[in-house]
Structure 1
C-alpha cells in the first residue's frame, strides 16, 4: 500500500475523525499550541504542498526532498506525505537535496521552502533567503486537490536516512498493531512518518508532542485517550 492509498482510505472511512493531534511544549512563541487534524484537513495540506512541489519546483520521481523539521510536528507529516504523493525521495541525511523544507534558513544548493512552525502564521518570522519560498505566505495559493503527474515504481527509494534506504514497496507496514489505536509517536522525521502511516493503516490516530513537558505528559495522554506508547 502506498502513502496515497493510506490517506485515501482514511478519507473514505471517516474524513472528520481526528488523525493527528499535536502539542507544542518547546520554549518559544509556539509553546502551548494544540493542533488537531482530521483526514480531510490533512489531505488538504498534503494537496497544497504536493502541488507546490510538482508545479513550482518540478519535483517528480527521482527528485529528493530533505525535511529539516522537528520529527514530532504536524507539518513534518504533511510534507512527507506530499513528497511521497509526487513520487519523490524523502531524505533526512545531511546531503544536499533538490528541495529542502526547513524551519530555519540553511545553506544549500537546492531550493529552500521555509516553513514557519506556528499554526496561524501568514508569513515567515525570519528573513527569507533569496530564491527561497515562504511557505506561510505562499502555500495557501495552491490547489486543494492533487493529481500527481507521475507515479513512482515500487522499487524506487521513498526514504533515505543515515541508516539506509526504504523503497516505496516497503514504506508502509500494514496490520501490525492494535486496530483503531490512539498512539503516542516519538522520534525523528523518518520514524514519526512511518509510525503514523502504520497507525493509519490500522485505522488509528497519532499524538505528537514536541519537546514534551514530563510534568504534563501523563495527564495529557490520559485526556487524549492514548492506548499505545513507545
Structure 2
C-alpha cells in the first residue's frame, strides 16, 4: 500500500500499520457452511506463526522451495505470505519431488509423499482444526503452529529481486508480484481502500492468486474468498455479494 513496498510481506506490514482491525480475508466454504473473517491483525498473526514455523522449526532458508498443494483457502493465503516473509519460494501446485518442504491438503497427501524433505499436512477443517490423527509421515500444521511466536523477524532481509512465487510454471520475484498486482488492480475493479472483491477462482493461476490475495493486499482492499461455490444454493452468491458489500467480482482467465 506504500510506494516503497517491494515484497508481499511489505504489503502486509503496511496494511497492519495503516488499519489492523479492518477485514482482509473473508472465507466461505459452501460444502461445509464455514465462514471465517480475518482482520489484517489476525491474518498477520497467522502469517507470523507460520513464518516462525518455517524459519525456526523447519530450518528453511531463503531460496528453498515450498510446494503448496492446497486449494484457494484462507490458510493457503497465510502460507503464501509466510513464505514471502521468510524469503522462500512458494511453488503453487508444484512438484513435491523438487521441493524442500511440501504442504498438502487432505486430498493430495499421496502426491505430497514424493517430497523427500519435510511434509506438512493441512486438515483444512473449520476454524483451522487438526486431523483426528495426523497422516503417517506428515506433521499436522494445526498441532504445530499455535505454539509459534506471534511476531516474526527474518534472520536475513528478504531480497525483493529473489525468486518468491511459482504459479502455472512461471516464476516471479517478490517485486514482480507487487508490481503486477498494482498494474492489474484497476482491471479487477480494485480502486483503493474499501474495495471488496469476491473470488471463486482457484489459486493455481496468477488470476486466482491476484484476485484472491495480492490485488486486495496491494490496494488496501479485501477479498471474499469462496470455495465449492458449485454447491451453493440458488441465489446464495447474489445474497453474499449484497451482505458482504462486495464491490467487484473476479473474472479470471485460465492459465494466466
Q: TM-score, normalized by length of structure 2?
A: 0.82
Q: Secondary structure of the equivalent of 1:4?
A: helix
Give the drift of 1:161: 2.5
The equivalent of 1:120 in structure 2 is 127
Matches of 1:158 and 1:121 in 2, distance apart?
Answer: 25
Matches of 2:210 and 2:151 in 1, distance apart?
Answer: 23
Q: Secondary structure of the equivalent of 2:248?
A: coil
Give the number of the structure whose residues are more often helix, by fraction: 2
The equivalent of 1:182 in structure 2 is 196
Change (3 A) 1:154 1:12: closer
Deviates more, 1:13-22 or 1:174-183: 174-183
Matches of 1:124 and 1:117 in 2, distance apart?
Answer: 9
Matches within 5 A, 1:1-230: 1-26=6-31, 31-71=32-72, 73-92=73-92, 93-96=94-97, 97-104=99-106, 105=109, 106-107=112-113, 108-130=115-137, 132-172=138-178, 173-174=181-182, 176-177=185-186, 178-180=191-193, 181-190=195-204, 191=206, 192-195=208-211, 196-212=213-229, 213=232, 215=234, 216-230=236-250
Give the drift of 1:152: 3.3
Q: TM-score, normalized by length of structure 1?
A: 0.91
Q: Which runs of 4+ in 1 moved over 4 A?
A: none
Say what the alpha-carbon RMSD is for the aligned residues.
Answer: 1.7
Matches of 2:167 and 2:216 in 1, distance apart?
Answer: 21
**Corresponding pairs, count:** 224
Give the drift of 1:110: 2.2
Contact 1:10 1:39 survives alignment (8 Å)? yes
Give the drift of 1:126: 4.7
Matches of 1:194 and 1:110 in 2, distance apart?
Answer: 29
Structure 2 residue runs of 5 or longer lacking an equivalent are 1-5, 251-256
Matches of 2:149 and 2:159 in 1, distance apart?
Answer: 25
